[in-house]
Amino acid sequence: MKYSGWPTPGELVVGRVDEIEDFGVFVDLEEYEEKRGLVHVSEVASGWIKNVRDHVNEDQMVVCKVLEVDESAQQVDLSIKDVNDHQRSEKVQEWKNEQKADKWMELAFGEDVDDGTFRRIANELIDAHGSLYAGFEQAAIHGPEALDATDLDDDELDAIVETARENVSVPYVTVTGYVDLEAPGGDGVEDVREALQAAEGNGEVPEEVDLDVTYVGAPEYRIRVQAPNYKTAESELEASAERASDAIEAVGGTAEFHRERRTDEE
């Protein structure tokens, strides 16, 4: 999504070199609609510059610092030399993330979504989380609750969460569920213990997944799964509960899986 306004002095912007002259470089701003800036030759690189083309090429992507903005003159003064390597790397990654988020918006609401709807929804996510990408990332981790501060309707929330969980890779997500296990007879305690071992995976859980089964209060046990993404976490949670259920039912016991806990904390 491109912003309709103007950048502010001090801001870092991503641009594409459009034209090179002896006196400087014209840059099309990738994040702003129909905005172009000028990097004076003295701001292209440190030291004396004999030939601007020794430092930049046409169509090259550059990160610039905004020096001055004159809206009445439609002029944005930029600097390339004032951006260090760390700032450049972070800004490029931020820009790439926002491009991903634009594509996720199209996946969620269709490629033909009108500009007004796109901007309204995008602005809700930006207001709530600082950027479009961060909005999708939080939706992938926390679900609809991450969007409580927005004015989006239920269908829009569902579309964002579903798309986020299908496409966003986050450092990790944690999901929790509960399983009630009961077994009859004198061997009931041992049967439950073996069912819990089955729930823990018997060494077959993927290395990138952290699965923990703990006692809450008879007959309830908590299954907590931490994984690199939501789909994997949910899949491993369901598999853990299914292993426990199969084990306890094989000895005549009963099992019931649920997402919310029922026993009060000790």
Q: State the CATH number of the domain containing residue 154.
A: 1.10.150
* Residue 2 placed within a domain: no
Work out the pLDDT band at 263, boundaries 50, 70, 90: low
Q: Is 193 in the same domain as 123?
A: no
| Res. 122: pLDDT tops 90 | yes
Q: Which pLDDT score, from 0 to 100, does residue 265 have?
A: 46
- Average of pLDDT values for 128-154? 92
By residue range, what is the domain housing residue 203?
A: 173-258
Q: What is the pLDDT of residues 77-98, one digit of tens each?
A: 999 999 999 999 999 999 999 9
Q: Which of 65, 53, 82, 84 is nearest to 11 (CA)?
A: 65
Inter-CA distances, 92 with 13, 46, 51, 167, Å: 9, 21, 26, 20
CATH code, 49: 2.40.50.140
CA distance 27 to 39: 7
User: Helices 154-167 and 85-109, interaxial angle, to 10°?
Assistant: 120
Which structure tokens are listed for 124?
């809700």
CA distance 29 to 130: 20
* Residue 61 placed within a domain: yes
- Average of pLDDT values for 160-171? 89
Q: Is 158 in the same domain as 227?
A: no
Work out the pLDDT band at 206, boundaries 50, 70, 90: confident
Domain boundary pick from 167, 191, 219:
167
CA distance 77 to 86: 22
Work out the pLDDT band at 208, boundaries 50, 70, 90: confident
Our count of domains for the chain comes to: 3
Inter-CA distances, 140 with 1, 67, 160, 226, 234, Å: 20, 37, 9, 14, 12
Q: What H or E segment, with its residue span, contains residue 239?
A: helix 230-249
- Average of pLDDT values for 34-41? 96
- Average of pLDDT values for 241-256? 94
Q: Which pLDDT score, from 0 to 100, does residue 266 have?
A: 42
